[in-house]
Amino acid sequence: MNPLVGIGLKIMSTFAFLAMSTLVKLASNDMPIGELMFFRAFFALVPLGIWLWWTDELRGAVKTTRLGGHLIRSISGSGGMYFGFASLALLPLSDATAIGYLSPLVATVLAAFLLKEVVRPYRWFAVGIGFVGTLVMVAPHLAQRDIAAYYTVGPALGALAGLAASACNGFSSIQIRKLAQLERTGTIVFYFLAVTTCVGLASSIFQWRTPPAREAILLICSGFLGGIGQILITASYRFADASVIVSFEYSTLIWAVAIGFFLFGDIPHPAVFIGAGLVIASGLYVVYRERTISRAARLAEQHPQAG
């Protein structure tokens, strides 16, 4: 285990996914969500294939004795992608990105109960603060007087889709963590992309809309970026606990705000900054505590007699 390597890979993956989300939002007008999923997953197979060829793992990528685990991870990941794209289409980029920060909180809780990872009290405290921050962020979108508004296309539905995506992605993170202990990174990513390609095609085949050249290019590039991000995030779970890795999901918020403003003219609700501030503060607290504990452990190993 090397937490710093895992954290670095996670941060790089979040930037790749943010760029991917931006391209998807640019191309999402009147495009079926399933079709967006298809382009994202199918063309992500290209960088994956290049990477597997480069690492000489191309032939072994499809070999597995844990097909059931891959299917569970892939279906939950497909759900996260579907609801995430729906949230992107209905909300400003910064808001959709910020609501996605709920997934680390879900993963931290699930890591304790499903993976039996040791989650120290300070992490539970951070989870609590982060959860409050998430509630602050989604409250403006969910504060609808008319109950029927939840079932119409708009910010409320986008917020609910974002929450559903976070729940799916949090569970998917736990499945990745379990598979990463026994399976190759390339195998985990391959099965996810293959299953998601099929799910996306099946869910959009009767409402397929052939995209214009500009949108097609955006969607193909989003697939490439998504594939790169998928490789990075899956590899990150080999180096650190899931409850540590997922805490860095919030690292791209400032870029999401800037891109949303300059490309889409979006101005985030003030509650997004307040809630995101709470989430970021809780994450920085986790980083500080992890570094303190790691430093103390190294000193104890170097000078055991001091104990």
| Residue 222 burial class via C-beta count within 10 angstroms: exposed 0-12, middle 13-18, buried 19 and up | buried
- Rounded to an integer, the average pLDDT of 20-48 is 91
Residue 149, pLDDT score: 46
**C-alpha 222: how far from chain center:** 15
Please determine, for residue 307, whether its predicted confidence score (pLDDT) is greater than 70: no
Asked if pLDDT for residue 79 goes beyond 50, the answer is: yes
Better-predicted residue by pLDDT, 97 or 201: 201
Residue 250 has what pLDDT?
Answer: 67
Q: Is 264:270 a contact under the CB 8 Å cutoff?
A: no
Q: What is the pLDDT of residue 21?
A: 92
Average of per-residue pLDDT across 58-62 = 82
Q: Greater confidence, 68 or 123?
A: 68
79 is written with which tokens?
A: 């759900």
Domain ranges of the chain: 3-306
The pTM score is 0.80
Q: Is the pLDDT of residue 242 over 80?
A: no
Dig out the tokens for 218 from the structure. Answer: 């955006």
CB atoms within 10 A of CB 99: 27
Residue 151 has pLDDT above 50, yes or no: no
232: Cβ contacts below 8 Å, ≥ 6 apart: 9, 10, 12, 13, 16
pLDDT of residue 37: 95
Residue 154's Cβ-count burial label (10 Å; 0-12, 13-18, 19+) is: middle
Per-residue model confidence as pLDDT tens digits over 119-149: 778 778 888 888 888 788 877 777 654 444 4
The mean pLDDT value of the chain amounts to 83
295 alpha-carbon distance from chain centroid: 29
Residue 186's contacts (CB-CB under 8 Å, 6 or more residues apart) are: 48, 51, 52, 55, 57, 60, 61, 231
Highest mean pLDDT: which of 11-20, 105-114, 169-178, 189-198? 189-198
